[in-house]
Structure 1
Amino acid sequence: MFVRKPENVNQQDMDIPGAKGVKMQLMIGRDDGAPTFSMRLFEVQPHGHTPLHSHNYEHEVMIVSGEGQVVGGTNGSTIRPIKQGDVVFMPPNETHQFRNTSNDTLKFMCLVPTHFDCGQGACEATPGS
């Protein structure tokens, strides 16, 4: 067992196509001995966004602070508002994106299967149309 604080975890810029103003911290991952899930903390700067993408695994998200939109559905055709305390389930292969539509930082926790965690974000991502 261990206890870790976000301020003690390295923050990485998501330097991948389609991402704007996004940083990620790998809070718990396979290097910590986690056999099933990895926990990642994302920060999206004002008016930034994650890439519009899909992948073959589910993930669960909890909005820690801020507000914005989550894009999902067939080819990203559904847009829903999100804010602190909301949870989002993204099924496998659904095109999705998180957008910060505010002037404050949007933060969210994301759980993915550990064997798909590549450390820099959208592993096996396929750009949405």
Structure 2
Amino acid sequence: MLILLVAAALRIYGFADFSLSNDELSALARLNFDSFYDLIMEGVRIDGHPPAAQVILWYMTRIFGDSVFVVRLPFVLAGILAVYFVFRMSRQWLNTSAALIISALFSTLSFPILYSRLARPYALGMLFVA
């Protein structure tokens, strides 16, 4: 539980304090479609990434607006969940001691933290791999 709290604190603290990156702005620019079909055909097909991030962003911005907080929140939550599932997967494959070490490392490594704080598909990738 402590590892998950540390992971959450490292991912949540100030995640909306810095402006959106060029990649995030590019993803937002591909959300201006009236229908889900148009989003997929015009916004997702031209992007080389899996569609889940664009779909999540499309729904989030339609419901809650396009603030930095709203845009990045789903990916922060995905990064926190990834730490939990890394622990579960490690415990299943190895043992509890190893799982604690692995999840503690994963929760504090800089790239998983960074990827969890960006509105890009990387946090979702970490979640689905774990």
TM-score by length of 1: 0.26
The structure number with the bigger radius of gyration is 2
More relative contact order, 1 or 2 (CA 8 Å, 6+ apart): 2
TM-score by length of 2: 0.26
Task: Select the structure that is richer in helix.
Answer: 2
Task: Select the structure that is richer in strand.
Answer: 1
